[in-house]
Structure 1
């Protein structure tokens, strides 16, 4: 490549369908162990839905919340529970009014070899239950759990 020529694209890693399906199964198992029904969303690095499933008795609002948690985690590449402290800052607080931003625990970026490959969002329990089930599922499949 000529040193004066600039690259015009980036190679973006993305979660596979198989890994997304495995995450959904792991989240359902973890949520069952905690004692709640869950909606699970997995998105790619652009926040586009890759896989989704809602348990029979999960609240219907949980479906939209799970997708938005995954979108938020993919967008900023940080867990959604971190946003609670951010939106308390008056200079950041206006972001809390963005219709898709979810400052509630249960959304995590999916990291493989130091690179974000997508994000996970779960909803259906309390924020503590959502976080616990997400972390259990991520850990069981060998994903890093960002703080």
Structure 2
């Protein structure tokens, strides 16, 4: 039997604060979602000026990343590579760059999803948030 780390509220708050700081430092209006290992929402915030649709896309990216245990960009790359049938994969809707898993000791303990600016910038914000807890 394995023991797995879990995100605590203090971790979630640190990730959210660092992600928000990265977005504000760059003047980016985004939505930020943090989920646990099962893809369940732990935190959500929509910064002033973020597009309304980003409030749907950010949690979807986070969920997809947590469930797949990899960056959501991987799914986008598969589809852009011509495997369009992957669009019919059940339960996966955030197949755009910007979802980043939170990995500790080889296990996914959650994910961060960001939406509102260019996809690589969304991912930059998510990674800045995760870095705040030393992962």
Using structure 1 for the length normalisation, give the TM-score: 0.80
Counterpart for residue 19 of structure 1: 11
**Superposed CA RMSD:** 2.1
* Counterpart-to-counterpart distance in 1, 2:74 and 2:67: 13
Counterpart for residue 85 of structure 2: 94
3-state SS in 2 of match to 1:122: strand
Equivalent residues of 1:72, 1:102 under 8 A apart: yes
Alignment of 1:38 with 2:30, yes or no, is yes
* Counterpart-to-counterpart distance in 2, 1:11 and 1:93: 38
Q: How many Å apart are 1:139 and its aligned residue?
A: 2.4
Equivalent residues of 2:15, 2:132 under 8 A apart: no
| CA-to-aligned-CA distance 1:28-83 (integer Å, 9 cap, x gap) | 11111222111111111111111111112111110110000000001110001111
* Runs of 4+ residues over 6 Å off in structure 1: none
Alignment of 1:71 with 2:63, yes or no, is yes
Unaligned runs of 5+ in 2: none
* Counterpart-to-counterpart distance in 1, 2:4 and 2:112: 17
Larger radius of gyration: 1
Unaligned runs of 5+ in 1: 1-6
Number of residue equivalences = 134
Alignment of 1:112 with 2:107, yes or no, is no
